[in-house]
Chain A
């Protein structure tokens, strides 16, 4: 058990104590709004309806739940990779742009970011629907005769999530790119590297920490995504968050839903820990100073 907040507080020098005092409101808020409910959920998962680890045994043995867990991770991974592929060039363009171009690009990245997630998801429903823009254009051009089924598919889920999560990748990558000393690429060029090689050998490795940070953010957000897959996806594209919601709202199985939530949390933390270890985040950061 870690020492309680009070003992930590009393154990530090007065000048640090004052600084800790500034953290107090946030700490109290986090304790009440985050730590407490989380603890209650964890307790519920082993007490409701009967004490014991039955729920976890079910999750671990019934293949349907493992499959949902796997597909949730698969979806998050695909979405993350796609945002990296799409977002890195955008961040690069942002970092290189000046003046009016830059303002325009920033607006293009941030406007959707500031729009409600629900609105953006509904927009995709309008675009991909049976009589949506895509189908109308395809039919008008004579490419298809009947409307294609685009909405309520795995494709729609992916498109919507990639679109919504893209800024979470672009912003940290952009930030690292603008902080990178331009002299580094100039040095590479002066030492004989063509523009492409300077980019691949110096710029990309040194902006990787930003990519890692952004990818982690996107991956974790994608794991818990609910609205978008629920509205855009088909019945086969069940994610863990949808499953949890189903258990609560349709089956009133609070205990089992809690166990699923804890499973999602633990799995997420495990992935984070693994990534931190194998990708050597710490060392990359260290090298940046």
Chain B
């Protein structure tokens, strides 16, 4: 990997600003798009807003950029409230979903645009554009028009244009959504390299969880205009705070259950289908209704004689080949549907119709008070595309 050329103007790399959103709210004719959202992004941090469509991600980003006026609340960048500044005075770089390169301008003129808007002298413009084009390794393509570039090249030009004026903050809306899978992985690496080397503060919006997990220092999972859980990718995946997060990020078996009794270091619960299992003690009050979530990769096929906190016999209803893993849809004797994910067994695993013994640890069961709604009400996760989700590999 070649070293990133540092800014010729400053000996030190760009320093990203601290960004703070204070009870930011947006209503569209009474409908709440962003609901009193508060958030702090550190200098040089890569934060992703991840959530389903309509959860308020873009609206939040547009309020930071200045294109949507908040109903109330404040946006601070580098300690200054910029909530009432027009977009062109904010010095925030934005990479748009479809890049929004100016089709009537060459690559050079596209990248020079923000400098010319700032009335920089020609020599300085040339120097900065050269720096930015080197940064994204497109030095020789300044004379091309955007339509003469590949998708990945356009993406990089959009990045150069957003960075050339040394913004204190970079915003990205679904930055890699339009690229094919291989290119997306390359670009993810490149983006991360630039962000680290330049010390950029980045706020990125995506609905692609793989992208979010790969790029982000922290992820904010959004739902209904609110942050459900803000944390590191590992936090979110291993210790989701709500059943929504457990189901949205990766896959989960979502079950409704009732707490039966405490049993030493365990608590015994029974699902609505009548499956009894033990979970970590203290996770829920006795006799209360709870929601359970179990990651499919935390459920294992058991060898004869092998044991777990929870063991159950089940029939395989269906198998889905995922390449690096196989997803098994199981049905227990009590009629509970469970999903199990395992690495592809070398000698070919069990098949449809086989009866198997499976088990999982009490610690593998995440328990939530019954105030949260699930993404899907069935016990089975929605069919996910291959490559989605992180577990099992």
Q: Are B104 and A187 in contact (CB under 8 A)?
A: no
Which residues of B are found within 8 Å of A197, using beta-carbon distances? 117
Which residues of B are found within 8 Å of A193, using beta-carbon distances? 88, 113, 117
Selecting from A65-73, A151-159, A178-186, the interface stretch reads A178-186
Which residues of A are found within 8 Å of B66, using beta-carbon distances? 189-190
Q: Complex formed: what's the CA distance from A194 to B87 in Å?
A: 8
**CB within 8 Å of B: which of A248-266?**
none
Q: Complex formed: what's the CA distance from A195 to B87 in Å?
A: 9
Q: Are B96 and A287 in contact (CB under 8 A)?
A: no
> Measured between C-beta atoms, what is the minimum distance from B171 to chain A in Å?
8
Q: Are B165 and A181 in contact (CB under 8 A)?
A: no
Which residues of A are found within 8 Å of B147, using beta-carbon distances? 286-287, 289
Q: Are B103 and A288 in contact (CB under 8 A)?
A: yes
Q: Residue B225 at the A interface, CB < 8 A? A: no
Q: Are A184 and B117 in contact (CB under 8 A)?
A: no
Size bracket, chain B contacts:
20 to 34
Closest to B65 in A: A190
Q: Complex formed: what's the CA distance from A202 to B105 in Å?
A: 9
Closest to A286 in B: B147
Closest to B101 in A: A187
**Binary contact track B17-44/A, C-beta < 8 Å → 1, others 0:** 0000000000000000000000000000
Interface core residue of A186, A187, A195, A205 (most chain B CB under 10 Å): A187
Which residues of A are found within 8 Å of B6, using beta-carbon distances? none
Q: Complex formed: what's the CA distance from A197 to B87 in Å?
A: 13
Q: Are B100 and A186 in contact (CB under 8 A)?
A: yes
Which residues of B are found within 8 Å of A287, using beta-carbon distances? 103-104, 145, 147
Of A190, A286, A289, which is within 8 A of B88 by CB? Answer: A190
Q: Complex formed: what's the CA distance from A74 to B102 in Å?
A: 35
Which residues of B are found within 8 Å of A201, using beta-carbon distances? 113
Of B86, B103, B145, B161, which is within 8 A of A191 by CB? Answer: B161
Q: Complex formed: what's the CA distance from A186 to B101 in Å?
A: 11
**CB within 8 Å of B: which of A233-252?**
none
Q: Complex formed: what's the CA distance from A206 to B104 in Å?
A: 7
Q: Complex formed: what's the CA distance from A192 to B100 in Å?
A: 15
4 closest A-B pairs by beta carbon, nearest first, are A192-B117, A191-B114, A187-B100, A183-B100
